[in-house]
Structure 1
Amino acid sequence: MPVRPAAAVAACLCLLLSCASHGVFAGETLRVGSKNFTESVILGEIAAGVGRQQGHAVEHRRQLGGTRILWRALEEGDIDLYPEYTGTLAQELLQMPGADEDALVDALATRGLRMTAPLGFDNTYALGMRADRALELQVDSISDLAAHPGLRIGLSNEFMQRADGWPGLSATYGLPQAANGLDHDLAYRGLESGAIDVIDLYSTDAEIAHYGLVVLDDDRRYFPSYQAVYLYREDLSMRAPDWTAALDAMAGRIDAATMRGLNARVKLGRETEARVAADWLGVEAPRAGGRMERIARRSLEHLQLVAVSLALALLVALPLGVVAARRPRLGQFVLSLTGLLQTLPSLAVFVFMIPLFGIGAGPAIAALFLYSLLPIVRNTHAGLTGIPRDLRETAAAIGLPSRTRLWRVELPIALGTILAGIKTAAVINVGTATLGALIGAGGYGQPILTGIRLDDIGMILEGAIPAALLALAVQGLFEAIERRLTPRGLRIAARQ
């Protein structure tokens, strides 16, 4: 029995994305992950530096998003190690409130994971206010917030949903305010401008002293201890025993004051995490490369995401558009389904693809593939159904077979509309692909995320401007292709 085309395309898609995600053709490279905040990136760089000191090839996949993404990536083997906190483990990941270190170690072992001894500092959650605002309202503790229901509270998006976050905190203290979610780094700017009255803090944040904030007393002891540790896969201790031993030997070496200083050098001093980590380790910092070199590298990553996803979409969407045009009832279903895909939130689709393809380029390409379908299917359908009926009947009357009519008559006439759909899909992909940086896919989103985190406009523009230029270039490319492929007679007719 011949393989159905749709099944073949699906198999190719899965194979390509799996290879892109998991590095099938690459050698043994150990992978460190980190969350999307400065301290986690610094600790990830330190861990990567320790691994390189032991002679291993180590890749640092930085800014992979929130806790759940890193945890899933570790369990599934997409990364080998990442920095975490005991309170997050107990409350959010293992659902073991109040568990001690030994209990956490035992619970991790059942999942094939291990944990280093604490690094030496407790980065607990806290709530903070500007000192002048707290003094004005006489707020010293979290309990005092209940007497001021009009206070505007802005919390990091992850904290809004965590088991140890806002839901439990507001219930414990009986807080009447409705909190809004936003990026943690943007919250500091909102607090400084007066747009927000209260935000969540990490106790080792460099901005606490910089902005002159008051840390509110957790008088009901809601937050657990958040000792910094490294989580790693159990098999890493067999593949790189010297690395895991060196990480275990770091126990107690980084106190809270040291961590605040490292954070400050990055957030306030504009140094790179790699430089700060290398200085702490006493080694030479890896070569960072100039701005043009970084842009060139990110351009190649971005082009890969856009080109592969668009090519896969063409393989699927063009036949679907033809089918939709020739079979109206089935066509309505196809158009409705692809339209539904377009309404799904972009970031949610990226995250949904992680269980299928891991982290990295794979899930990003899969998500962009889905977003490319509607413009191509819809325009192919519109182009073919828009051909005058008498022209189609004439082609049939002179005895042209159905396939010949499609390739020699209908598709050339509909070409302009079809290419417009492909152009739309490509331009959409260029912009949407920036979200791929949240799951380790790289591209122009990487400097944008870093710039937001560090409040560095230059870094944001380093990603935003090339993305805009690439979108314009893609649009111009497809307009040139349309002029080149459209038969001369149709071009003359269009001008008339």
Structure 2
Amino acid sequence: MRRITAALIVLAALATWLGLMPSTPARAEEVGSKKFTESVILGEIARIALEDAGIEASHRRELGGSRILWDALRTGEIDVYPDYTGTLRFEILSDLRLPDDAALHDALAARGLAMTAPLGFSNGYALAMRRDTAQRLAIGKISDLAAHPDLDIAVGNEFVARADGWRALSKAYGLGSLDVRGIDHDLAYRALAAGQIDLTDAYTTDAEIEAFDLVVLEDDRTFFPRYDAVYVYRSGLPDTAVRALDSLSGSIDEARMRELNRMVRMEGMGETAAARLALGRDNAGADAAPGRWKRIWDRTLEHLALVAIALAGALLVAIPLGVFAARRRKVGGAVMSATGLLQTIPSLALFVILIPVLGIGAAPTIAALFLYSLLPIVRNTHAGLTGISPTLIDSADALGLSRAARLRRIELPLALPTIMAGIKTAAVIAVGLATLGAIIGAGGYGQPILTGIRLNDTGTILEGAIPAAAMALAFEMLFNLVQRRVTPRGLKQAEQGAKQ
């Protein structure tokens, strides 16, 4: 076990040194963005504007939804991010029941934050249908939906429970008879275009509305507020940075934003190029991104560090816990129940719960992977030790071995195949779950998967999915090799004799 743990620690240290060394100066301002195209473009616009003002800046893309960005800003993990006044009033600060957008300034100041004046466009929520479906059912307004309880409705996961989302909308329009399910916003458009659903939520600046010839239903009871785009930033931002962000106010209208979204999502333009275009910059070399193999190598180092650190920590904790549970049968059940309870927490929820404590990035991801790795290792260690024949234990006692010597020389070697099965299971689980860490800025293979889903680019999705599968197989082969290496010669001979 010491050899296995030592090998993982070495792997983790090497990957951390190679893959997670800071790539930007310590004083660089961190710009964040949500995991949809418009937010990424606006994040790039802010980064370029800051750099034009002589300020070092970096951009942490696709950090999940509104709450994740808000928590990251509050904890100082990022310094600025694009958001919308309606989201701030009715989702983030819904408990304050602010009367209008003007009240946002005082509410933000009380939390050490501020926001710019609107950028010049409103990206509001709306409900959208395929034109042929809307015409066939004679639906033009949101209130018309009440007469069609059989509609197949799927809306963005975040929109389901927002204070300005489906539940409140349903109450305002009397749509309680309609069933709704959550779906990723980018996938919803594809499902709508393919006729797999009838209705979804839309952002009014989405390029898909025109591209898929969708009908935006009239909000005939004026439920949705304005969603003016702004930058939210921490109050301690340097004055030069604040002036750079303020200079962007009123610079982008709704038609221009919709066009930028279209060029990225429909024509394959990079977000950096779109941001430079919005700022009137020359796009020569704007999207000179690293080659595919370089990107995969960088993501491999990040992913390997996340998994190896978490597994090394889990081995150091889980194996002793499993031994304790096997030795102390009365409390062993409580240990097993506690580790099993951790496994029931939804992974994405656990990542988000850890943000206020550990911030965003690698730390909460490693902590979550560590917790999820405990159960298979603890359970298999316990099962391996309790499954040893009592006759063998009695023989060891007859030889006068101490309990520590018996554990080291007899019990752990006999339980090794079962323990290793648990370690391999934990490794495969960790490799898969680590992809979710990209939502909170941990990088790894989840980053190209998120980007590919957002841009409907299968090649980019596979750029993360295939290496992740390969890493899981590599870990399994590595542990098979380690198992053969650490299995005592006598047990190997006994296993070979049994097979013959």
TM-score using structure 1 length: 0.92
- Partner amino acid for 1:252? G
Unaligned runs of 5+ in 1: 1-16
SS of the counterpart of 1:185? helix
What is the deviation of 1:102? 2.7
What is the deviation of 1:62? 1.1
Q: Is 1:447 the counterpart of 2:445 in the alignment?
A: no
**Could you tell me how far apart the structure 2 residues matched to 1:218 and 1:465 are?**
44
Contact 1:21 1:359 in 2 (8 A): no
What is the deviation of 1:246? 1.0
Match of 1:348 in 2: 349
After superposition, the C-alpha distances for 1:365-386 in whole angstroms (9 at most, x for unaligned) are: 1110011001111111122222
Q: How many residues align?
A: 474
- Select between 330-339 and 25-34 the one with higher mean Cα deviation: 25-34
Pairing 1:451-462 to 2, within 5 Å after superposition: 451-462=452-463
Match of 1:32 in 2: 31
What is the deviation of 1:287? 3.4
After superposition, the C-alpha distances for 1:45-99 in whole angstroms (9 at most, x for unaligned) are: 1111112222333221111111111111111111111100011111112225563
What is the deviation of 1:408? 2.1
- Select between 263-272 and 222-231 the one with higher mean Cα deviation: 263-272
Match of 1:153 in 2: 153
What is the deviation of 1:279? 2.8
After superposition, the C-alpha distances for 1:378-404 in whole angstroms (9 at most, x for unaligned) are: 111122222221222222222222212
After superposition, the C-alpha distances for 1:183-221 in whole angstroms (9 at most, x for unaligned) are: 111111111111211111100000000000111111111
**Could you tell me how far apart the structure 2 residues matched to 1:185 and 1:412 are?**
51
**Could you tell me how far apart the structure 1 residues matched to 2:376 and 2:194 are?**
42
SS of the counterpart of 1:194? coil
What is the deviation of 1:300? 0.7
Match of 1:246 in 2: 244
Match of 1:75 in 2: 74
**Could you tell me how far apart the structure 2 residues matched to 1:324 and 1:28 are?**
48
SS of the counterpart of 2:127? strand
**Could you tell me how far apart the structure 1 residues matched to 2:139 and 2:119 are?**
33
- Partner amino acid for 2:256? T
Match of 1:12 in 2: none
- Partner amino acid for 2:255? A
Pairing 1:75-114 to 2, within 5 Å after superposition: 75-95=74-94, 96-97=96-97, 99-114=99-114
TM-score using structure 2 length: 0.92
Pairing 1:251-330 to 2, within 5 Å after superposition: 251-281=249-279, 282-283=281-282, 285=286, 287-330=288-331
Contact 1:22 1:358 in 2 (8 A): no
Pairing 1:384-463 to 2, within 5 Å after superposition: 384-463=385-464
Contact 2:89 2:101 in 1 (8 A): no
Pairing 1:364-375 to 2, within 5 Å after superposition: 364-375=365-376
What is the deviation of 1:283? 4.9
**Could you tell me how far apart the structure 2 residues matched to 1:286 and 1:218 are?**
39
Pairing 1:32-181 to 2, within 5 Å after superposition: 32-95=31-94, 96-97=96-97, 99-175=99-175, 176-181=177-182
Contact 1:126 1:218 in 2 (8 A): yes
**Could you tell me how far apart the structure 1 residues matched to 2:270 and 2:318 are?**
43
Pairing 1:481-492 to 2, within 5 Å after superposition: 481-492=482-493
SS of the counterpart of 2:118? coil
**Could you tell me how far apart the structure 2 residues matched to 1:256 and 1:443 are?**
34
**Could you tell me how far apart the structure 2 residues matched to 1:144 and 1:134 are?**
10
Contact 2:252 2:278 in 1 (8 A): no
Contact 1:21 1:360 in 2 (8 A): no
After superposition, the C-alpha distances for 1:105-144 in whole angstroms (9 at most, x for unaligned) are: 1111111000001000011111111111111111111111
Match of 2:8 in 1: none
SS of the counterpart of 2:331? helix
**Could you tell me how far apart the structure 1 residues matched to 2:56 and 2:430 are?**
32
- Partner amino acid for 1:367? A
Pairing 1:180-199 to 2, within 5 Å after superposition: 180-199=181-200
- Partner amino acid for 1:183? D
**Could you tell me how far apart the structure 1 residues matched to 2:98 and 2:361 are?**
34
- Partner amino acid for 2:339? T
Q: Is 1:210 the counterpart of 2:211 in the alignment?
A: yes
- Partner amino acid for 1:323? F
SS of the counterpart of 1:229? strand
What is the deviation of 1:286? 5.5
SS of the counterpart of 1:364? helix
**Could you tell me how far apart the structure 1 residues matched to 2:310 and 2:110 are?**
38
Unaligned runs of 5+ in 2: 1-15
- CA pair 101-59 structure 1, distance change in 2 beyond 3 A: same
- Partner amino acid for 2:303? H
Identity %: 60
- CA pair 492-22 structure 1, distance change in 2 beyond 3 A: closer
**Could you tell me how far apart the structure 1 residues matched to 2:282 and 2:309 are?**
39
**Could you tell me how far apart the structure 1 residues matched to 2:257 and 2:97 are?**
26
Contact 1:98 1:224 in 2 (8 A): no
**Could you tell me how far apart the structure 2 residues matched to 1:146 and 1:389 are?**
69
- Partner amino acid for 1:142? I
